[in-house]
Amino acid sequence: MSDEIILIVNGKPRTVQAAPDTPLLHVLRNELGLTGPHFGCGEEKCGACMVLIGDKATQSCKMPVSEVGQARITTLEGLIEEGQLHPVQRAFIEEQAAQCGYCLNGMIITTAALLWKKPHPSDAQIREALDGNLCRCGSHLRILRAVRRAEALLAESE
């Protein structure tokens, strides 16, 4: 039942043993020890499990691991380069944009994907991009401010 599958995760090829229909999230968390993405609903409705596939923010809780192929997977951990937090991560710390922090992974991944595609989004575009990410603590306003700060940090670093 278990297959050997090669995934490209955070820039490196990784070999895992998993049944082909195993959700990518379980493989990332349990086989590769990547605890950035979280299980929220298992139904692609809350965004806690998001990873970047290529440059697209994607929910990983239902996606069968066998369907990822050779696409590049980037998790929250993979945004860190040479020990330096990604500007989006820095922005979230600077704005203290969390309470419990369980949804943070999806918020950061979505923001990174958004700013990649649209470096200067409108307020409505930011809210629309984040509408698929649920937060129960009510950290929304801080997260929106963090997106704006990330926009500025990314503009600076160019």
Q: Is 66 in the site for other proteins (CB under 8 A)?
A: no
- Selected binder of other proteins within 19, 32, 72, 148 (CB under 8 A): 19
Q: Is 41 in the site for other proteins (CB under 8 A)?
A: yes
Phi, psi of 5 (to 5 degrees): -125, 135
- Residue closer to other proteins by CB (options 11, 101) is 101
- Selected binder of other proteins within 6, 71, 80, 152 (CB under 8 A): 80
**Which residue type is seen at 116?**
W
- Residue closer to other proteins by CB (options 13, 83) is 83
Interface region with other proteins, contact rule CB under 8 A, candidates 15-23, 52-60, 111-119, 150-158: 15-23
Q: Is 50 in the site for other proteins (CB under 8 A)?
A: no
Residue whose token pair is 């990174």: 112
Of residues 98-127, those binding other proteins (CB under 8 A): 98-105, 108, 124, 126-127
**Which residue type is seen at 96?**
Q
- Selected binder of other proteins within 9, 18, 73, 115 (CB under 8 A): 18
Q: How is residue 78 written in tokens?
A: 């993979």
Residues that bind other proteins (CB under 8 A): 1-2, 18-19, 22-23, 26, 29-30, 33-43, 45-46, 48, 75-77, 80, 85, 89, 92-93, 96, 98-105, 108, 124, 126-128, 130-131, 133-144
